[in-house]
Amino acid sequence: MATTTVVPGDAHDLDAVRARYENVDHAYHEQRDNRLLGILLFLVSDVILFTMFIFAYIYLRNSVPNWPPIVEGGHQLPRFDVNFAAFNSIVLFGSGATMHFAMESWKHLNRPAFFRWLIATIVLGIGFLAGQAYEYSSLAISWAGSTMGATFFTLTGMHGFHVFAGVVFLCILGFQARAGVYTESKYFGLTAGTLYWHFVDVIWVALFFLFYLW
């Protein structure tokens, strides 16, 4: 059966999207609610994980008289490069915007735009990881050299792993969408990918403040 493309900005587009979203069989509707609860619980558990490490970092930072700390030899470690981190942050936050546009394009049945925005999100995610790898290679500290290095590499490395997992996740979603796994009313996988990617963005806001601005 032919489908009608919903043009963004139409006075009835939101009602049309809502009608399509609810126009599913009961089994899928129930599974979708359970899956949504599952992804939300997963994200909450991840928030708890990051919160534990963040509080450990705050405790260790407040336990020394100087920050950045003074290491053997009597010299103080340099602060992290906030300008480069700000640029890399813009790349990551930009990927959050493109992921939002990708999801909205799918809801409005604009699949070519969806794939363009999704590819842009993946490219920006890879760009962020490349920037993080460059920063790691240029730092004068190491994971085992100081408390500052250990906490920095642990938290940003854990976040980087989440970004990498997200890039893989989005690639899989793209292949599934191309293969017809998702339809105009059944696309929870895309919703889950969007939620996960926005979560990665939010976590980086906290890490950027802790390591580069504080």
pLDDT (mean) for 43-55: 97
What are the pLDDT digits (tens) for 179-207?
A: 999 988 889 999 999 999 999 999 999 99
Output the six-digit token pair for 86.
């700000």
C-alpha distances in Å from residue 187, one per residue of 35, 81, 103, 179: 12, 40, 10, 13
Task: Examine the pLDDT at 136 and tell me if it is beyond 50.
Answer: yes
Task: Examine the pLDDT at 214 and tell me if it is beyond 70.
Answer: yes
Write down the pLDDT at residue 13.
60
Give dist(CA 121, CA 113) in Å, integer.
Answer: 12
pLDDT (mean) for 143-162: 92
Output the six-digit token pair for 40.
């939300």
Domains of the chain plus CATH, in order, are 25-213 (1.20.120.80)
Write down the pLDDT at residue 21.
58
pLDDT band at 6 (very low <50, low <70, confident <90, very high): very low
Residue for token digits 């993080």?
132
pLDDT (mean) for 38-42: 95
Give dist(CA 95, CA 61) in Å, integer.
Answer: 31
For the chain, give the percent of residues with pLDDT over 90: 69
Task: Examine the pLDDT at 42 and tell me if it is beyond 50.
Answer: yes
Write down the pLDDT at residue 198.
97
Write down the pLDDT at residue 20.
60
Write down the pLDDT at residue 144.
78
Output the six-digit token pair for 143.
């994971």
Task: Examine the pLDDT at 1 and tell me if it is beyond 60.
Answer: no
Name which of 18-32, 82-96, 128-142, 162-176 the model is least confident about: 18-32
| pTM of the full structure | 0.86
Give dist(CA 126, CA 95) in Å, integer.
Answer: 10
The larger pLDDT score, comparing residue 205 to residue 63, is at 205
Task: Examine the pLDDT at 23 and tell me if it is beyond 70.
Answer: no
What are the pLDDT digits (tens) for 95-126?
A: 999 999 999 999 999 999 999 999 999 999 99
**Helix%, strand%, coil% for the chain, nearest 5:** 75, 0, 25
